[in-house]
Structure 1
């Protein structure tokens, strides 16, 4: 089976849904944020704080483009859509699934944005990032699943219906 690549904002449920989805359909699970942390030997936020956004983004793009796997649910970092080559790579390897969540839900779920490993420019707010990324998620998704107030199980059911 091809891969299922989950994209969306931080706290939209990519990792949580991804693990359960992988178990449900008998696929492996991979979290690109964890791959970055393993490669760099540091937490995402520490990497951003110590080496800067530019360095983090170079590492993230490299890791995303290096993934060569099959039959895997891949949870990407929220900024994966910033890298057109990485997205093209993913589209060759599987279906890109956008987990769409309203801004209010993201804001509620993110306790402290400064510890989540989110690349932000000076003065940039969560709302700014949301507004910047939403069109990118929508443009790059093969499938969009509006998760809203759905449970993990309901979200997986919607994904399963969408992929046939």
Structure 2
């Protein structure tokens, strides 16, 4: 079966949701954000889940929700912790190309000011910088395409992804 989804991975603040909407418009695809699916599944915000049930529970719910996603021709913005789930990533790779929106800590600090209330799946004692280092290896492990988002705006990132995905799909035929 030909893969038809574009799966965006990266740190919170890398632009997955915003770039995802722009990319979906650009390519006439549908868009879905797995963080919203998780919130709808639980009937609560991500932060409430982390505060009351812990970051590992959020990861468990995330994996369950990801494994239920059965879509075609969608841009899928994932939560920043989705690469912790080998099963979840395997499922997404079955019908999607994985694009890593790479950035650096300086860019993330400039974009995001609410790390403590954003619902990020991390240990209570873990700094954002430590989380960044830990997750970078996971993002690189699963990425089929990496787009450097440090020096471009969201429209430029969407255009770059569209171009690179088209080239990838043409090679995959």
TM beyond 0.5: yes
Match of 1:141 among 129, 135, 143: 143
Partner residue of 2:110?
108
| Structure 1: gaps spanning 5 or more residues | none
Partner residue of 1:9?
11
How far is the alpha carbon of 1:122 from its aligned partner? 3.0
3-state SS in 2 of match to 1:118: coil
Using the size of structure 2 for normalisation, the TM-score is 0.92
How far is the alpha carbon of 1:91 from its aligned partner? 0.8
Q: Is the 8 A contact 2:101 2:147 kept in 1?
A: yes
Using the size of structure 1 for normalisation, the TM-score is 0.97
| Structure 2: gaps spanning 5 or more residues | 167-173
Q: Count how many residue pairs are aligned between Structure 1 and Structure 2.
A: 164
How far is the alpha carbon of 1:43 from its aligned partner? 0.5
3-state SS in 1 of match to 2:23: helix
3-state SS in 1 of match to 2:164: helix
Q: Distance in 2 between matches of 1:163 and 1:52?
A: 36
Runs of 4+ in 1 over 3 A off after TM superposition: none
Deviations 1:6-32 (A, max 9, x none): 000000000000011101101000000
3-state SS in 2 of match to 1:89: helix
How far is the alpha carbon of 1:47 from its aligned partner? 1.0
1:82 equivalent to 2:84? Answer: yes
Cα RMSD over matched residues? 1.0
